[in-house]
Amino acid sequence: MIRLFLVDDHTVLRQGLKSLLHQSDTLQVVGEAENGAQLLAQLPATPCDVVLLDLHMPVLDGLATTKRLHVEFPEVRVVILSMADGERAIGQVLEAGAHGYVLKNTDHEELITAVHTVAAGRRFLCSELGLAMLEKVLATPPDPATKPASGLSAREQEVLRLVADGLTTAAIADKLFTSPRTIETHRQNIMEKTGAKNTAALIKTAASQGWLG
C-alpha cells in the first residue's frame, strides 16, 4: 500500500483528490495540509511514501517545500500537481528534488500511474507536458545524421512510439492487448537502454535521433 500525503491550499480540490484516489486499492491517503509548512510539521508523526504537492501555495510554496523535503525527508517521493506548465517552473522543481510533475487536468489513471511510478523509484512527467516538449523539439529540423533505435526490440520500439503519442500505460496496454505491468516493464527497459532519465528526456532523444518516424 502506497501512503499519500495531499498538500493544496484549496480544500475542495483536496477532497476531490482524496475521493478519486480512494478508488485505488493500492493507495492510502494518510494526511492533508494546506501548505508546505503544515506538511513539514505533520510528517514526523505521519510517515508517507509520496507527497502530492501543489506548486503555488501561501506560507511555504511547492518549490520551497520540495527543497526542504529533499534535505529533511529524502526518503519521501514528491509529485508536483499544478496547472503551471512553463518549462522554467518545471525545471526548477525537478532540479530541487521533485520526482514527478503532473498537470491538474490529467486524468485519474495517469495520476495513479504517476504515483506508482515515483513510488517505485522512477521519475514521471505527464503525457501532456511530454507532448508539448516533443512538439518543441519537432519544430527544429532534425539532424540528418539520424540512426535507428538500436538495441530496442520491435515491441519496445512500438511502445516508444505510443509513449511519444501521449498514451498512458493503461491505454498502451489496451492497444497492444497486454497488461499495464508488461508495458511498465517495456518502458523501464527502454529507459535503461537509451539512458533516458525521464519520459521527457526519452521523447526528446527519440525525436532528435529520428526513432519516431
pLDDT of residue 137: 65
pLDDT of residue 146: 44
pLDDT of residue 196: 84
For residue 108, tell me if it sits in a domain. Answer: yes
Instruction: Give the tens place of pLDDT for each residue, 29-54.
Output: 999 999 999 999 999 999 999 999 99
**C-beta separation of 16 from 32 below 8 A:** no
Q: Do residues 167 and 67 both lie within one domain?
A: no
pLDDT beyond 80 at 138: no
Kindly give the residue spans of alpha helices, DSSP state H, lying in the chain: 11-21, 36-42, 62-72, 87-96, 108-119, 127-138, 154-164, 169-175, 180-194, 199-208
pLDDT of residue 197: 84
- Describe the strand order of the beta sheet including 2-7 as a list of residue ranges: 27-33, 2-7, 50-53, 77-82, 100-103, 124-125
Among the candidates 74, 104, 125, a domain finishes at 125
Q: Do residues 118 and 15 both lie within one domain?
A: yes
pLDDT of residue 213: 60
Q: Do residues 106 and 199 both lie within one domain?
A: no
CATH code, 172: 1.10.10.10
Q: Do residues 121 and 142 both lie within one domain?
A: no
Q: Do residues 118 and 136 both lie within one domain?
A: no
pLDDT of residue 23: 83
Instruction: Give the tens place of pLDDT for each residue, 141-198.
Output: 545 444 455 578 888 888 998 988 888 898 898 888 888 889 999 888 888 888 888 8
Q: In this structure, what C-alpha cell is assigned to residue 106?
A: 490529467
Domain that holds residue 188: 132-208
Instruction: Give the tens place of pLDDT for each residue, 52-95.
Output: 999 999 999 999 999 999 999 999 999 999 988 888 888 899 99
Give the global pTM.
0.64
pLDDT of residue 141: 54
- The DSSP secondary structure of 159-188, one letter per residue, reads HHHHHHTT--HHHHHHHTTS-HHHHHHHHH
**C-beta separation of 197 from 126 below 8 A:** no
Q: In this structure, what C-alpha cell is assigned to residue 198?
A: 525521464
Q: Do residues 118 and 139 both lie within one domain?
A: no
Q: What angle do CA 139, 141, 144 make, to 5 degrees?
A: 150
With 0-12 / 13-18 / 19 or more C-beta atoms within 10 angstroms meaning exposed / middle / buried, residue 208 is middle
Count of beta carbons in the 10 Å neighbourhood of residue 175: 14
Among the candidates 82, 109, 125, a domain finishes at 125
Among the candidates 72, 93, 125, a domain finishes at 125
For residue 213, tell me if it sits in a domain. Answer: no
Q: Do residues 24 and 98 both lie within one domain?
A: yes
Q: In this structure, what C-alpha cell is assigned to residue 82?
A: 499544478
CA 202 to CA 190: how far, in whole Å?
8
pLDDT of residue 121: 92
pLDDT of residue 147: 46
Query: What total number of domains does the chain contain?
Result: 2
Mean pLDDT computed over 130-149? 60
CA 178 to CA 187: how far, in whole Å?
13
